[in-house]
């Protein structure tokens, strides 16, 4: 299986390497493996949904008359 690093995944997914580190340690990226101090992420892995944000529809961001 081909793997990418945190840095490569951060460029591909547009988030910081630290955020990807959180995803890996929380088990949110299937197939990610830790070898020593380095996370290896499958190249075909999809970016997990960022649970910190809600859409405007759910956060009260819409105007209601």
Is residue 23 scored above 90 in pLDDT? yes
Q: Which helix (H) or strand (E) holds 38?
A: strand 38-42
> Using 50, 70 and 90 to split pLDDT, how confident is the model at 17?
very high
Report which of residues 62 and 28 the model is more confident about: 28
Domain extent listing, the chain: 3-42
What pLDDT does 19 receive? 93
Segment 44-58, tens digit of pLDDT: 999 988 777 766 565
Average pLDDT, the chain: 85
pLDDT at 26: 92
| Residue 49 CA from chain centroid, whole number | 7
């Amino acid at each position: 299986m081909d793997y990418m690093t945190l840095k490569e995944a951060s460029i591909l997914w547009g988030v910081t390497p630290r955020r990807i580190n959180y995803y890996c340690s929380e088990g949110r990226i299937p197939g990610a493996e830790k070898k020593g101090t380095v996370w290896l992420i499958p190249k075909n892995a999809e970016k997990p949904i960022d649970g910190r944000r809600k859409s405007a529809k759910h956060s009260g961001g819409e105007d209601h008359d």
